[in-house]
C-alpha cells in the first residue's frame, strides 16, 4: 500500500464574530481559535489522509491585540503541522515495513499530543491551561 497525505503549509484564516469564535472553540475563547482536522480513507490504495487547518479570529480585534492573537493561534497551527508531519513519516515507515498503518490510532495519538502541546504552550504564555488531555485507550503505534 501507498500513502497520499496532504498537509497544508498555511492555515485558512476566518475573521468572524466573537460569538462564532466562542462557538467554534466550545466556549474556550472568544478572541481566537485554531482548529486542525484529519480525514482519511484507509480502505483504498493509496491510503488518503487529508489535513485541514482553520484559524478563527474575532473580526473586531485590531492593532497589537489582533497581532498577538494571530501569533498565538499560528503557534498552535505550527505545532499541529509538526505533529502531522511526524505522523506522515510514521505511517510511511509502517507501510514500508509491511505493518498495519493504524491510521485511527495514530490520529487519536496526534490529537492527544496536540492537546498536551497546547496545554504546555498555554502554561508557558498565560500561566495556566484549560485543556484536559485524555490518553487514547490504544497503545501508541510504533
% pLDDT > 70, the chain: 100
| H or E segment to which residue 34 belongs | strand 32-41
Q: Would you call 134 exposed, middle or buried from its count of C-beta atoms within 10 A (0-12, 13-18, 19+)? A: exposed
What pLDDT, in 10s, does the model give residues 7-40?
999 999 999 999 999 999 999 899 999 999 999 9
- Please say whether the beta carbons of 14 and 56 come within 8 A: yes
Task: Measure Cα distances from 79 to 59, 75, 85, 115 in Å.
Answer: 24, 6, 10, 10
Model pTM score: 0.93
pLDDT(55) > 90: yes
What pLDDT, in 10s, does the model give residues 60-71?
999 999 999 999
What pLDDT, in 10s, does the model give residues 61-97?
999 999 999 999 999 999 999 999 999 999 999 999 9
Ranges of each domain in the chain: 3-126
- Whole-angstrom distance, CA of residue 142 vs CA of residue 133: 21
The reported pLDDT for the residue numbered 76 is: 97
pLDDT(142) > 90: no
Q: Higher-confidence residue: 132 or 34?
A: 34
Amino acid at each position: 500500500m501507498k500513502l497520499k497525505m496532504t498537509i497544508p503549509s498555511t492555515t485558512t484564516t476566518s475573521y468572524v464574530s466573537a460569538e462564532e469564535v466562542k462557538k467554534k472553540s466550545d466556549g474556550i475563547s472568544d478572541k481566537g481559535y485554531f482548529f486542525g482536522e484529519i480525514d482519511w480513507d484507509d480502505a483504498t490504495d493509496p491510503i488518503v489522509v487529508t489535513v485541514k487547518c482553520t484559524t478563527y479570529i474575532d473580526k473586531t480585534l485590531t492593532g497589537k491585540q489582533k497581532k498577538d492573537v494571530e501569533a498565538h493561534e499560528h503557534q498552535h497551527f505550527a505545532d499541529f503541522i509538526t505533529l502531522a508531519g511526524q505522523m506522515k513519516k510514521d505511517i510511511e515507515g509502517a507501510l514500508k515495513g509491511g505493518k498495519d498503518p493504524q491510521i485511527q490510532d495514530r490520529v487519536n495519538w496526534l490529537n492527544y499530543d496536540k492537546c498536551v502541546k497546547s496545554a504546555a504552550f498555554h502554561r508557558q504564555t498565560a500561566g495556566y491551561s484549560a485543556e484536559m488531555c485524555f490518553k487514547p485507550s490504544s497503545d501508541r503505534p510504533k
